């Protein structure tokens, strides 16, 4: 099992989860984070830290595309290990439907 970041992170990018991760398995895109599935130790400390409820265990149904997206972009984006401010408008984008299709960016973030 691993944890995955899902669509509600897009355009929010809260980094509370990064701060508590004991193995630094988060990677930063321009407008979301992902978890490297081979680095995640399944400790679960990140899940309750996410204000947008965007982190889920991969054992939940329907998360296959998110597991693939996390795995694909974790090797392309820079590692992030310190908390940063959320994106402008994060509260307004929390819970918006269809964020993957409308707003996802493949561009990397800045990392640490």
Query: Which positions ≥6 away from 71 have C-beta within 8 Å?
Result: 36, 37, 38
Q: What is the pLDDT of residues 34-77, one digit of tens each?
A: 999 999 999 999 999 999 999 999 999 999 999 999 999 999 99
Q: What is the pLDDT of residues 45-56, one digit of tens each?
A: 999 999 999 999
Query: Which positions ≥6 away from 22 have C-beta within 8 Å?
Result: 41, 43, 45
pTM, whole model, 2 decimals? 0.96
CA neighbours within 13 Å on the CB side: how many for 8?
14
């Amino acid at each position: 099992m691993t944890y995955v970041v899902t669509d509600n992170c897009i355009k929010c990018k809260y980094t509370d989860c990064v701060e508590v991760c004991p193995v630094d398995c988060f990677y930063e895109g321009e407008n979301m984070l992902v978890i490297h599935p081979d680095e995640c130790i399944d400790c679960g400390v990140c899940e309750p830290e996410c204000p947008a409820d965007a982190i889920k265990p991969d054992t939940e149904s329907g998360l296959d595309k998110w597991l693939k997206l996390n795995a694909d972009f974790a090797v392309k984006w820079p590692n992030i290990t310190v908390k940063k401010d959320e994106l402008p408008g994060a509260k307004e984008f929390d819970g918006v439907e269809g964020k993957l299709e409308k707003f996802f960016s493949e561009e990397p973030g800045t990392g640490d």
